[in-house]
């Protein structure tokens, strides 16, 4: 996986291609030294004590930076001596095929809505497939994992090999309390959750989708408010507490909760 790292006085900027698109994120050196490195050290110790594969969840609402953070944690685990390298994978590879989403619908507020109009919501995922693969990983097997390509708008099967003793899985709904989803928590040895102000996440969502899609701003805002913000509220309001909670701040830094 291609990436680049730029070091400034107080920040580390991490650039990578994720889900088929280039992404850049900056992390404060304070958060790296006081949160991320100690977290990875803790996971190393947990895995040594367990003796088998350690499953870690990183759950967060849309636009909270979870995919890039998961990749950055993998980078840190490989580059810092004394840490144990981890694998990082995402649940977006379990999106149902886009053609299926076009041809199937659900009712929302009494109206029939094609699944493609709410892509990213829980019904647009292959939940059985998620259960099967995480169960396979938790048993310690070397296995393949799907990858979601935002350029193809479809998952690519068996794109990633999972082989390390610590596996970080990121996704929106890994800690969701809803039926079927809530059972995923049984596989996790350690859980992380990102929270943020919903209005701040809306701003990030609109900016990201406007840049990536090229669609008029009005259309982007309409989709974000109808689909993405429902998912934001669902993740923030209906997820289980985690072993570690991170706060995404308005300056795009991460910190621990203050209360």
Which pLDDT value is given to residue 214? 73
Q: What percent of the chain has pLDDT over 70?
A: 97
Strand partners for 190: 56
Average pLDDT on 128-134 reads: 97
Q: Is 211's pLDDT higher than 80?
A: no
Asked if residue 22 has pLDDT above 90, the reply is no
Mean pLDDT, range 203-208, rounded to an integer: 92
Residue 112 has pLDDT above 60, yes or no: yes
Per the structure, the count of domains in the chain is: 1
27-70 pLDDT, tens digit each: 999 999 999 999 999 999 999 999 999 999 999 999 999 999 99
CATH number at residue 137: 3.40.50.300
Q: Which residues pair with 171 in a beta bridge?
A: 59
Share the mean pLDDT of the chain: 94
Chain centre to alpha carbon of residue 13: 19
Cα Rg, the chain, nearest whole Å: 18
Q: Which residues contact 198 (CB under 8 A, 6 or more apart)?
A: 229, 232, 233, 236
| Domain extent for 187 | 3-255
How much is the pLDDT for 217? 85
Q: How large is the average pLDDT for residues 95-115? A: 95
In this prediction, residue 19 carries a pLDDT of 65
Q: What is the mean pLDDT of residues 166-195?
A: 97
pLDDT over 60 (residue 1): no
Instruction: Report the pLDDT averaged over residues 153-169.
Output: 95
């Amino acid at each position: 996986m291609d990436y680049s790292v730029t070091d400034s006085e107080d920040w580390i900027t991490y650039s990578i291609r994720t889900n088929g698109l280039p992404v850049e994120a900056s992390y404060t050196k304070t958060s790296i030294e006081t949160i991320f490195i100690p977290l990875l050290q803790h996971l190393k110790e947990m895995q040594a004590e367990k003796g088998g594969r350690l499953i870690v969840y990183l759950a967060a609402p849309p636009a909270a930076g979870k995919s890039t953070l998961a990749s950055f944690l993998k980078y840190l685990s490989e580059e810092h001596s004394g840490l144990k390298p981890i694998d990082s994978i995402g649940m977006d590879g379990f999106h149902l095929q886009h053609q299926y989403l076009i041809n199937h619908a659900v009712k929302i507020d009494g109206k029939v809505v094609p699944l493609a109009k709410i892509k990213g919501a829980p019904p647009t995922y292959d939940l059985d497939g998620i259960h099967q693969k995480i169960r396979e990983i938790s048993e310690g097997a070397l296995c393949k994992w799907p990858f979601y390509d935002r350029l193809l708008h479809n998952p690519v099967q068996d794109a990633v090999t999972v082989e390390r003793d610590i596996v970080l899985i990121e996704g929106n709904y890994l800690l969701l309390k809803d039926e079927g989803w809530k059972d995923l928590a049984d596989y996790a040895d350690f859980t992380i959750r990102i929270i943020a102000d919903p209005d701040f996440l809306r701003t990030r969502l609109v900016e990201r989708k406007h840049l990536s899609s090229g669609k008029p701003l009005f259309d982007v805002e309409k989709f974000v408010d109808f689909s993405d913000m429902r998912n934001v509220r669902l993740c923030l309001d209906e997820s289980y507490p985690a072993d570690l909670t991170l706060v995404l701040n308005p300056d795009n830094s991460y910190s621990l909760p203050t209360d």
